[in-house]
Structure 1
Amino acid sequence: MIASTSRNALAKVSRPPFRFRGCLHAQKQTTRQLARPAFAVSKPSTTSNDDTDMIASFDHPSNICAASHLSPSGLFNHSFLTTPNAFRALSQSTLRRAEILTRRISRARESPHEMRQVVKNLDRLSDMLCGVIDLAELIRNAHPDPHWIQSAEEVYDHLCQFMNVLNTHSDLYEVLRAVLADPELVKAMSPEAHETALIFWRDFEKSGVNLPAAQREKFVTLSSEILTLGRQFLMETTSARPPAAIKPSELQGLKDKGMGERIRLQAKFTQRDIMVYPGSLQAQMIMHSAPQEEPRRKIYMAANTSTPTQLQTLESLLYARGQLARLVGKESYGHMTLSDKMAKSPENVQHFLDALLDHTRPYARRALRALSMRKQAHLNTPPLPIIHAWDRDYYCPPEPPAPPVSLPSLTLGTVFMGLSRLFRNLYGISLRPVDLAPGEAWHSTVRKLEVVDEETGTLGWIYADLFARQGKPNGAAHYTVRCSRRTDDDDEAGDIKFYNDSERDQEMVRMSKEFGFAQRTRISDREGVFQLPVVVLLCEFARPTATRGPTVLAWHEVLTLFHEMGHAMHSMIGRTEYQNVSGTRCATDFVELPSILMEHFLTSPSVLPLFDIEQNPVREAGNHHEDPCRSIDTHTQILFAALDQIYHSPAALVAGFDSTDVLARLYGARALVPYVPGTSWQTQFGHLFGYGATYYSYLFDRAIASRVWRKLFSHNPLSREMGEKFKCEVLKYGGAKDPWMMVSGVLDAPDMKNGDAEAMAKVGEWKFEDEVSMPGRH
């Protein structure tokens, strides 16, 4: 699943915090499978005790429920956070503390000292709210206890409503405007502080803070409505579709003999049509192996048909977004959303998509012709029959991604060992398993990793919740639970004078302060004390057992773990003084770059020995072939990005807007596979909520990541010099620097600095070289 991308003035929280999960279509993608020579290898760092500890931590089933020697604690080592009611109390304490700090910022013009603290205090306000909201988002998705989930839902809704009010708070805005209008105050700011101030400024204006009071109230109402509609839409994207009725005679000749025989026996026993639910194993088997077209067509239709309610939910969401944009004087939601992204405007996105489409179309047409020839030979038809949507998986069945060389089975522990070794080679950073106190995690299978820099010490912590269980969301995700932030210059004592009732307020905010004061340390290479980041990785791998042994990962699962760890390391290394720009809190169309780049390392035989305890060199070349349908799938992803742009254009506000008609017309104009009348796939396009108007971002970052890989790492993937360059030009800044400047710096491409329409089109012309990413995995 993908995070929503709107950035609000006090935080990116009128949407869920950043989450990165697989696309609905990820299972249809495969890696680029080409034989590759073994490159010259930089000498890897030597084996350490941490490597063997990693294997023991993740691979030994007996360790899953091992007793800890640590004293009992609450979630994430917050001693008080032991019950759902305690979480509700934390929410109330945080809300009161936020109200006090809001009053302080609003009155900053009464004192020069307070004016100098405005940007810092806005970031503190954002941090104290985000810390609880982000935790609520994790709990409601990961916690197995329904009482905890209910408390998280309440906390999330309550604090987001308050955040929406703050985003239109005119006093806060006027104070910030006064700060930015004062040359002396601006001159005294660090570049990071100034960038943070500008982000707050732009986000306030995007939230309609300049509107009259009635319209500001409407902005808050619309924001809440969009949140509600979006969550409803996401629920409906995963709701079950009605089954398709398949006649037994339509399943003659199934290539899958085992399941095919079971289905035929079922039909013979019941003497009636077989009801096959979209998404089931039976449905997938039929789509891949049924020679007759009709059962595949039926399942496709069942899987891509929507109810009127589902269509109404989506179209109401798009209309509300359009209204919100018009309220703040923007032509469309796309124009409003993209103004602070790398793309800057829908027009620039179109330049990128057009260039990418022009590059991809010839390859996709060639692949489609190959499928048509297969269909011709299979059905003995006249030349080049039409390939329909239900033909794709039969004539070009998706093959599982595979490594570029032959490898032994990779357990979860050995993959984490390889990740730690890779980070040690590139950045001088290691992963170390650490003990969990009872109650610190939400499930007994959660593991905790300390991220350690060889020079500066602990960077932060990663909680790994990697095993599937009932009720846990599908896919993989990266959750930011706590961001980096400098804390020793907070001037907490200055808040006290703004308490209404000193003793009562002090007691009321005590829990929030205790929550905020956790996990701080003095950094040796930076001035001051910093709040260290905490992130959570969610996956759904098979759980190790005493009988089956350790969890063995398929190659696509290794790719997924590398991708998510790319996000995690961005959170760790992007240690900024302001949480609003730390780690993955950067432009949406830039945030996937580190995670996609991580996948490229798995294309290199030079990296693969890191998975071996003895670190033996890998020299045997693989004999894998390129997926002939990859270009078709990429072409389809480009169309989805174009559809997202249309849905968030002024068209969404036109009377009679019909999302299905828009889909049909787009396919008629630009698709290679014809639209199927009667279908409405868009109600399953969950990214329309999380990545509204920015779905192009993944394709965009794929192109940049491919370029970075080729220029920096392809010839020597373990180069510390290149690792340091990427770390210092990109990762360490988080969102505190213009991403076009970061791209320009890391690629030594000064012509990319401006990030104009020409730059967007140029990125569209870059090929997805050495590509391994599956379109849609975020």
Structure 2
Amino acid sequence: MIMLQSTRPRLRAWVCSSCQRRGLTAARRPHPVQATLHNSQRRSFIRNQKPTSFNTFVNFSGANVADKYHDDTILRQIFDSPSVWKEFAKTDETRNVGLFRNAYLTRPKGFQIFARVSLEKARKLVDKILKASSIQEYQDIVRDLDRLSDILCRVLDMADFVRVTHPDPKIQHAASEAWAVMYQYMNELNTTTGLNDQLGKAIDNPEVAKAWSEEEMTVAQMLKLDFMKSAVNLPQRMRDRFVTLSQEISEVGARFVQEMAPEQRSLVFPSSELHGLNPMIARNFTRRGVVYLPTLGAEAAMALRQVHNPEVRKKIYYAARTASKNSTDLLERLVKLRAELADLSGFESYGHMALRDRMMAKTPESVREFLQALHTNNAPIVRREAQELLEEKRRDTGDATAVLQAWDKDYYAERIHQKARSKTKHDDFLSAYFSLGTVMQGLSRIFNRLYGIRFVPRECLPGEAWHPDVRRLDIVSDTDGHVAVLYCDLFYREDKSPNPAHFTVRCSREIAPHEVEEAAELLGQSSEIPAFTTAEEAANDGMAMSQVDGKLKQMPTIALVCDFPQNAASRNGPALLTFFQMETLFHEMGHAIHSFLARTSLQNVAGTRCATDLAELPSTLMEYFATDATVLSLFARHYETDEPLPYEMVAERLRWSKRFEGSDTENQILLAMLDQELHSAQAAKPDVDSTQIYHELQRTHSTLPPDPPGTRWQGFFGHLFGYGSTYYSYLFDRVLAEHVWKEVFKAGDNGGGLDRANGEQLKENLLKWGGSRDPWQCLAGALKDDRVADGDEKAMRLVGSWGTKSNFKEE
């Protein structure tokens, strides 16, 4: 059952070409930054923005327009100047309001109390569902099950974020314990046949089903499928086997990722054979004139790009592309277990099982149609790139008959890149135009232009944030007022993960009147229940809520985590982002805008809880905005001189960085095809050979030289565990994002990237629905293209035929 539906999209988790080479898996003019913010300014801002009490209930009739430009200025300052943030964040409040203003979480023990109170609520709700007998009670079942999911996710999502992000080990430990308690209970629910039976009765009763909204029916069908995929309807013996298989898959998959290793861990060369390699790299691995080069990692990847000797490159390539026998054995064991699990659950293959739920593709056949069409579209581009590489090799060797080898690709691509880079400005020159505060200011301006929402800085109260660097932003709509809360943890810390991520700490969900009544009854009954001011606060644990059109809703609460270094040269200077870091922040904000706008009544379909192969569309789309000249002119200015960014610098950088994009796309297509094949019916065969499958795919579909015999790179493809027949999603969303950029935002022509009508078209047809409407209908509405409305194999083939081109439009 969908008791825990991850709200954190898989962000930039594909295998980029550089990782594969390493064998890893892995407008108003802005004001200049001011050094200080006068106390009178700060007090005026706070007085205008924060409620008169710490009640988290918000009832806006409209946004505070008078302070819009003041907010815009402050927004840049609090991210660019630590001293401004320190002054802004001062508060007279001394009471600990709890993490995210969750009143339970004022101390480590609060996590246990929060889990225990939530568990009691969940058990009462389960009892109610199991006893349902009247028409009205069955009509309530979908919302009851959704609330049950929300009760668990309130603890699980919060605890999951805290245990991997909070710097205090005691709080990490407490969060982990709370998570474990709720996760164990969730697993119990997933084997509770009565919940599945009651939901089935409700769906099968026409009088019940006709009373449900489109959103409720969507969630009902989603939950029913989840029960089916959990084998809850099977006899006990088969359910037991299902549980055993699931556990084995988890263990073998984890081993596959953790024990991943090359057959040969290092290579030994005389230093004279590594001519061309970066001297610093060579020196670090040289002992007495001999270089001991690790097979995997940045050093081997660099050697493939720089070493002049083709025989040396060949040896490095073979070693870096050959996983250990143990790695491939674990992979093949994993896919066999998945095949058995799918068969037990009544599916033709694991691919059919995985694609049935929350996926636009629906079937492996549709995925193959998409990938084949995309390959056909991309092949001419790769042929041109391959010819360019071959010509570079022939010029270099002076041999007009030379043939391109697999170990030549990176070397000659790097030579071509070097020639292009020598004509461009360095990335650190570009970064002067992308201070973090300027970029955040720009994102607020973009979203205000497109969707009528903006970022309003808000001071964090004691205990609300997990680190002093965390900035809180209230998301304010020009029509609905305060609609979401965003916590930004964007600066580097030693104890932080370096991976950028969007976390949904709490989803949007409508809070029913009877929930408020239940909360009122609990007030003052136990010392474990915090002293809430109102029953509404108690119903949402003290966290942010809103009331629009008479309906009380818990607000989306989002945490955005990045790892940007602060300015080392100045304690009060801004963090300057590279172009790639700026794109990364735009990407993550694409997920956030989805969460802000998709404020559904049911949390199972809120925000990014949509079809998995649609989740990356809004974020990938934002990368197009990050390269548009008109959009960049809205905010990109030099942090010292306030001069606007010369767009030709960006255009030149993009030209060389996208030089071999077709080859990278072909690589992704091959990996997605491999993912499909390894989760097809042939994975159930006792003699499944992943190496043979991968090499055959390369020989059939690769335009560039395929891997030579004897290699087995698939043993390094760790995403086969995490994605499991859905790896195509990254490519799918890349294609969709480019098409939306062209068709909805007119590829930025004539200011199309900032046109409110275009933003409304995307919001009203796609973004605001989250997962509550058929994604193909959403896409068809956004694109105004009924050819994709049915979402069948023909639609998948059409999407593939759109292909991917360059990520920017040259001015």
Match of 1:567 in 2: 591
**Structure 1 length normalisation: TM-score?**
0.87
305, 308, 332: which is aligned to 1:291?
308
Say whether residues 1:662 and 2:683 are aligned partners: no
Q: Does 1:474 align with 2:498?
A: yes
CA distance in 1, matches of 2:529, 2:122: 9
SS of match in other structure, 1:553:
coil
Amino acid across the alignment from 2:481: G
The structural deviation recorded for 1:419 is: 0.4
Residue 360 (structure 2) pairs with residue 342 (structure 1): yes
Paired position in structure 2 for 1:700: 732
Distance 1:23 1:402 in 2: 29
Q: Which residue of 2 aligns with 1:127?
A: 150
1:505-564 deviation line (CA, Å, top 9, x unaligned):
97888899958433343333x441000011122222212346373211111111111111
Distance 1:695 1:616, change over 3 A: same
1:542 corresponds to: 565
Match of 1:206 in 2: 229
Secondary structure of 1:383's counterpart equals coil
2:502 match: secondary structure = strand
Which residue is 2:51 aligned to? Answer: none
| Distance 1:389-1:496 versus aligned 2 partners, 3 A rule | farther
Q: Write the distance in 1 (CA, Å) between the matches of 2:716 and 2:531.
A: 41
The answer for unaligned runs of 5 or more in structure 2 is 21-26, 31-64
User: Partners in 1 of 2:404 and 2:368 — Cα distance?
Assistant: 29
Percent of aligned pairs with the same amino acid? 38
1:372 has 2:401 as partner:
no
Cα deviations across residues 196-234 of structure 1 (Å, max 9, x unaligned)?
A: 212112222222222112222332333344344444444
Q: 2:474 aligns with which of 443, 450, 453?
A: 450
Indicate how the Cα distance of structure 1 residues 495 and 86 shifts in structure 2: closer, same or farther if over 3 A, else same: closer
Distance 1:345 1:741 in 2: 18
Q: 1:42-191 alignment to 2 at 5 Å?
A: 48-62=69-83, 68-69=90-91, 70-71=93-94, 72-109=96-133, 111-191=134-214
1:362 aligns with 2:376: no
Distance 1:332 1:493, change over 3 A: farther
Cα 1:54/1:503, change in 2 over 3 Å: closer
CA distance in 2, matches of 1:661, 1:505: 66
Which stretch of structure 1 is more off in the superposition, 319-328 or 376-385?
376-385
User: How far, CA to CA, are the matches of 1:579 and 1:692 in structure 2?
Assistant: 25
Q: Of residues 228, 231, 243 in structure 2, which corresponds to 1:220?
A: 243
The structure 2 residue matched to 1:582, chosen from 606, 616, 622, is 606
SS of structure 2 residue aligned to 1:440: coil
- One-letter code aligned to 2:74: D
> Is contact 2:146–2:602 with CA below 8 Å preserved after alignment?
yes
Tell me how far apart the structure 1 counterparts of residues 787 and 425 of structure 2 sit (CA, whole Å).
37
- Report what 2:11 is aligned to: 20
Conserved? CA contact 1:287–1:393, under 8 Å: yes
SS of the residue 1:178 aligns to = helix
For 1:763, the equivalent position in structure 2 comes to: 799
Whichever residue aligns with residue 353 of structure 2, its letter is M
* CA-to-aligned-CA distance 1:411-458 (integer Å, 9 cap, x gap): 111011110000010011101222123432233322222111111111
- Which amino acid letter does the alignment assign opposite residue 81 of structure 2? H
**What's the CA shift for 1:772?**
5.5
Change (3 A) 1:153 1:682: farther
Q: Is the 8 A contact 1:574 1:733 kept in 2?
A: yes
In structure 2, relative to structure 1, the CA distance for the partners of 1:157 and 1:310 (3 Å cut) is farther
Paired position in structure 2 for 1:193: 216
- Counterparts in 2 of 1:156 and 1:297: CA distance versus 1, 3 Å: farther
Call closer, same or farther: CA 1:387–1:91 in 2, change over 3 Å: farther
1:776 aligned residue: none
Aligned residue-pair number: 741
Q: Give how far 1:91 is off.
A: 2.9
8 Å contact kept, 2:433–2:636: no
User: Is 362-371 or 570-579 further displaced after alignment?
Assistant: 362-371
* CA-CA distance at 1:496 after TM superposition: 12
Per-residue deviation at 1:331?
1.1
TM-score by length of 2: 0.83
Quick one: which amino acid aligns to residue 745 of structure 1? G
**Structure-1 residue corresponding to 2:669:** 638
The answer as to whether partners of 2:519 and 2:538 remain within 8 angstroms in 1 is: no
Q: 1:275 aligns with which of 277, 287, 292?
A: 292
- Other-structure match for 1:35: none
Counterparts in 2 of 1:508 and 1:768: CA distance versus 1, 3 Å: same
2:677 maps to 1:651: no
Q: Which secondary structure does the structure 1 equivalent of 2:586 belong to?
A: helix
Q: Which residue of 1 aligns with 2:60?
A: none
CA contact (8 A) 1:478 1:538 kept: yes
What is the alpha-carbon distance in structure 2 between the residues aligned to residue 242 and residue 384 of structure 1? 31
SS of the residue corresponding to residue 482 of structure 2 reads strand
Contact 1:325 1:331 in 2 (8 A): yes
Relative to 1, partners in 2 of residues 1:42 and 1:263: Cα closer, same or farther, differing over 3 Å? closer
Aligned to 1:411: 435
Tell me the equivalent position of 2:35: none
* Structure 2 residue aligned with 1:629: 660
User: Do structure 1's residue 322 and structure 2's residue 339 form an aligned pair?
Assistant: yes
Q: Secondary structure in 1 aligned to 2:686?
A: coil
Cα RMSD after superposing both structures: 3.6
Match of 1:3 in 2: none
1:248 Cα offset (Å): 0.4
Which has the higher relative contact order, 1 or 2, with Cα contacts under 8 A spaced 6 or more apart?
1
Correspondent of 1:242 among 256, 260, 265? 265
SS of corresponding position for 1:323: helix
| Superposition deviation, residue 242 in structure 1 | 3.1
Distance 1:632 1:454 in 2: 44
Taking a change above 3 Å as real, the CA distance of residues 296 and 412 of structure 1, as seen in their structure-2 partners, is farther
Name the structure 1 match of 2:349: 332
Write the distance in 2 (CA, Å) between the matches of 1:170 and 1:216.
11
Q: Per the alignment, in what secondary structure is the counterpart of residue 414 of structure 1?
A: helix
Using a 3 Å threshold, how does the CA distance of structure 1 residues 78 and 492 change in structure 2: closer, same or farther? closer
Q: Could you give the per-residue CA deviations for residues 32-57 of structure 1, whole angstroms, max 9, x where no partner exists?
A: xxxxxxxxx99999981222212221
Quote how far apart the aligned CAs of 1:134 are: 1.6
Residue number in structure 2 paired with 1:553: 577
Q: Which amino acid aligns with 1:724?
A: E
The aligned residue for residue 734 of structure 1 is 770
Q: Using the alignment, how far apart are the partners of 2:475 and 2:564 within structure 1?
A: 22
Q: Structure 1: how far apart are the matches of 2:163 and 2:347?
A: 34
Q: Secondary structure, in 3 states, of the residue corresponding to 1:523?
A: strand
* Contact 1:601–1:717 (CA under 8 A) maintained in structure 2: yes
* Alpha carbons 2:8, 2:608 under 8 Å: kept: no
What corresponds to 2:43 in structure 1? none
C-alpha deviation, 1:728, in angstroms: 0.6
Distance 1:339-1:435 versus aligned 2 partners, 3 A rule:
same
What is the distance in 2 between the residues matched to 1:172 and 1:305?
A: 48
| Pairwise CA distance, 1:729 | 0.5
Letter of the 1:327 partner, please give it: L
Which stretch has the larger CA shift, 620-629 or 401-410?
401-410
State the 1:630 CA deviation: 1.1
Q: Deviations over 1:386-429 (max 9, x none)?
A: 23146325434668999999885211110111100000100111
Aligned 8 A contact 2:304 2:407 in 1:
no
The secondary structure found in structure 1 opposite 2:601 is coil
Q: Give per-residue Cα distances to partners, 1:336-357, cap 9 Å, x unaligned.
A: 1112321110001000000001
